[in-house]
Structure 1
Amino acid sequence: MRTDLDAIGVADDSCATVRDLWQHTETTATGTIERQVPGHGVVMLRVTPDCGAN
């Protein structure tokens, strides 16, 4: 599965925090978000339009 930040309403030139709600992991994205989704699988991501400085 692949999408870009602009397609989900976040400006392409900004940074976004991408949280995988099932794997409990967090990454950042600045353009494209891509994940492998298994054949009968589900991936749920929360995208926050800020990379934060935590």
Structure 2
Amino acid sequence: MTRLIAIALFAVLAYLLLRYRTNAQFQKWVAIVLSGALLAYIAVVMVSELIR
């Protein structure tokens, strides 16, 4: 369930950034941070599944 909430939050944030046409530099940094957070989340999920 937590995974679905995280994915939904990423999708909503991406939609809001594109919808309201925020600063391009800000969009770039948000995209980098969100990508990094998503990769870290995937790594944590993979490691926790492998430990089981």
The bucket for the TM-score relative to the shorter chain is: under 0.3
Point out the structure with the larger strand share.
1
Point out the structure with the larger helix share.
2
- Between structure 1 and structure 2, the one with the greater Rg is 2
Which structure has more relative contact order (CA 8 Å, sep 6+)? It is 1
